[in-house]
Amino acid sequence: MEIKILLQEVLQRLPGLHMDRDKPLHRYDGIVHSVIEAHFKFDQKRAEEIMRSTSTHPPQG
């Protein structure tokens, strides 16, 4: 379960990249948890839109 949560958190920070809902995550749960197979999709257009919007509105702080 921790691996799936980790992937979800990482993907929130990578614009345009998300897990392929048509192909499930295959993992091994044992003493050492590992990902056997993971499929992703990348939306280049959406990533570029996000990058443009963040570059015109830099974070405050």
Domains of the chain: which residue ranges?
Answer: 2-56
Rounded Cα distance between 48 and 46, Å, is 5
Looking at the predicted structure, is the pLDDT value of residue 12 above 60?
yes
List the one residue out of 14, 16, 35, 17 whose CA is nearest residue 26.
35
pTM of this structure: 0.55
Rounded Cα distance between 13 and 21, Å, is 18
Distance linking the first and last C-alpha atoms of the chain: 34
Element (H, E) at 41: strand 40-42
What is the pLDDT at residue 21? 87
Strand partners, 4: none
Looking at the predicted structure, is the pLDDT value of residue 33 above 70?
yes
Looking at the predicted structure, is the pLDDT value of residue 57 above 70?
no
Which of 20-24, 39-43, 52-56 shows the lowest mean pLDDT across its residues? 52-56
